[in-house]
Structure 1
Amino acid sequence: MATLGANQYGKAESRVVRIIRDSPHHEIVDLNVSSSLRGDFAGAHIDGDQAAVLPTDTQKNTAFAYAKLHGVSSPEDYALALARRLLEATPAAREAEVRVEQYAWDRLGSHAFLRRGGETRTCVVTVGRDTASVVSGFRDLVVMKSTDSEFKGFLVDEFTTLAETDDRILATSLVAQWRHDGLDELDHRSQSDHRRDWNSSYDDVRDVLLSTFATTYSRALQETLYVMGAAVVDTLPGIAEISFSAPNRHHFLVDFSGFEVPVENHGEVFIAADRPYGLIECTVLREPPA
């Protein structure tokens, strides 16, 4: 006999662009917003009864309305407010989740802008009836070390062709997500109280990650990720844990030996290969106090 398992529903990828026009120098906040509701929606699935369902179109409309009514001081603050509102509007829901991607723009003038490349800022906010969690992060942060990286001493079998190296290019398109600690004091029902400086927190984590990457000798990407994560949880008390997904962007030295004209390549010209690639993932947590 069939039974209904876990389910949720929502509106995916509402492209919310907020222009702040309260001064001659306009500001842009460019978001991709997805919302989901989880709870007792069995009637909709089993009986086709929509009485408990807040339409996904309403979720979309609320996402746009809250960009104006609440404002967007940060993706986290906006997502918390939106999740609280959706939960309040849906009695059958036990949780509302809001995922936000923010795309950055650089200023060209008072009201002209250039879409910036580089990483995309992200956050995932989940608000329950008595709880709230915030996971901030980014994706597509491309970093490289042209030296101070090795890879050797690895397991070898009959199919191994990779040569050991004391000096290689280390590059990755980094995805990082970190969970904020100490949210118990947040009134999850409040639309305005207990706001944190989410933007400063994001900048702090990003700065620690990049400075650690730049100054740490790498014996493997695994070690580099751990050292970066440890630097975050050890120096930033508001971060409980951080997770990484790091595809290895391989760079292979070009072989010029077949040319009729001798060309030397002393670690100067490489092929950048996008696939297949090694994928390294890990989570670093702050050890709980004894």
Structure 2
Amino acid sequence: MTIVLGDNRYGKAETRVVRVTRDGDVHRIKDVNVSVLLSGDMEDVHLTGDNAAVLPTDTQKNTVFAFAKRYGVGEIENFGLRLARHFVDAQPTIAHARVEIEEYAWNRITERHSFVRDGTEVRTALVHSDGTGGRESVVSGLKDLVVLNSTGSEFHGFIEDEFTTLRPTDDRILATAVTASWRHRGVGTDWGDSYRAVREHLLRGFAETHSLSLQQTLYEMGRRVLRERREVCEVRMSMPNRHHFLVDLQPFGMNNDNEVYFAADRPYGLIEGTVLDDDAPDAPAAWS
């Protein structure tokens, strides 16, 4: 038997950065969580403990802070590309960089410098780079986008066996917390405009689909994004079914005409799927 070192990478996870941009008394906030993973000529550090090829993870953390000061954060896709290219271009032992960023939105309370956190939704970006002039990939996304249709959803015609208790319905609440990511064809996109447009198409796809299943809704949401935004070539989604069950009010002499529900948080159905353009460029399997 021959034992060899397989794929490997290392980095600094979850560096939290809050960047305040001050224009006199008027401030702007960027609140991000940055994770870096690097790979390259790392065989010796694993096999012999020789650290000569290793850029310390503490240095990676410091680079994130320094770049936030030097360049600002801006659109998180651009910030990720700038960091990834730097790590590969600056160090000969590093061949590939993966940078993942979450952004937490804040809304103004006043016109100057007071803010309130904008719900639970999080914007995301995942960047891969082989350095300036090399292969690159940008995946934008969001998570915890909570949506609900109070009608316009059915579920029936499913398999029934000896353990089935779920009753078919032609009118139910459909609720979920969307996690979505979308791969771009290139890196020359207006990231902010693209993000806002894709998010709106996801919302419209959810709202405007008369749903016979959450799977159908997922597909229609992804299809709408690909149809309307040519810079996007692939959409991946994970959508838990946040079940709402009608409460039996008959013991109290009351009818319940789809008005009062019990919102169950677990267990829940989980629907995942990918919608892609069949002429989309392939994404390297390792770039995840």
TM bucket normalised to smaller: over 0.9
After superposing on structure 2, the runs of 4+ consecutive aligned residues of structure 1 that deviate more than 4 Å are none
Report SS of the residue matched to 1:155. coil
Whichever residue aligns with residue 71 of structure 2, its letter is: H
Aligned residue for 2:144? 140
Residues 1:213 and 2:206 are matched in the alignment? yes
Percent identity (aligned): 54
Partner Cα separation in structure 2 for residue 230 and residue 215 of structure 1: 13
Aligned residue for 2:270? 279
Cα deviation, residue 2, structure 1: 2.9
Cα deviation, residue 105, structure 1: 0.4
Aligned residue for 1:224? 217
Q: 2:119 aligns with which of 117, 120, 132?
A: 117
Cα deviation, residue 162, structure 1: 0.9
TM superposition score normalised by structure 2: 0.93
Residues 1:162 and 2:166 are matched in the alignment? yes
Partner Cα separation in structure 2 for residue 223 and residue 38 of structure 1: 39
Report SS of the residue matched to 1:232. helix
Whichever residue aligns with residue 239 of structure 1, its letter is: V
Report SS of the residue matched to 1:11. coil
Aligned residue for 2:285? none
Residues 1:254 and 2:236 are matched in the alignment? no
Whichever residue aligns with residue 114 of structure 1, its letter is: V
Runs of at least 5 residues in structure 2 that lack an aligned partner in the other structure: 281-288
Between the two proteins, the alignment pairs up a number of residues equal to 276
Cα deviation, residue 143, structure 1: 0.3
> Is the 1:241–1:284 contact (alpha carbons within 8 Å) kept by the matching residues of 2?
yes
> Is the 1:53–1:90 contact (alpha carbons within 8 Å) kept by the matching residues of 2?
no
Partner Cα separation in structure 2 for residue 182 and residue 114 of structure 1: 34
Describe the superposition over 1:103-136 as per-residue Cα deviations: whole angstroms up to 9, x where unpaired: 0001012011111113100010000141110000
Partner Cα separation in structure 2 for residue 52 and residue 124 of structure 1: 25
Aligned residue for 1:203? 196
Describe the superposition over 1:211-267 as per-residue Cα deviations: whole angstroms up to 9, x where unpaired: 1211111111100110110111111000011000000000011112233xx222211
Partner Cα separation in structure 2 for residue 177 and residue 211 of structure 1: 17
Partner Cα separation in structure 1 for residue 69 and residue 255 of structure 2: 60
Q: CA RMSD in A?
A: 1.3
Residues 1:31 and 2:32 are matched in the alignment? yes
> Is the 1:70–1:81 contact (alpha carbons within 8 Å) kept by the matching residues of 2?
no
Report SS of the residue matched to 1:182. coil
TM superposition score normalised by structure 1: 0.92
Aligned residue for 1:187? none
Give matches, 1:1-290, under 5 Å. 1-109=2-110, 110-129=112-131, 130-183=134-187, 196-259=189-252, 262-288=253-279
> Is the 1:8–1:36 contact (alpha carbons within 8 Å) kept by the matching residues of 2?
yes
Whichever residue aligns with residue 81 of structure 1, its letter is: R
Partner Cα separation in structure 2 for residue 224 and residue 93 of structure 1: 42
Partner Cα separation in structure 2 for residue 246 and residue 141 of structure 1: 10
Whichever residue aligns with residue 201 of structure 2, its letter is: V
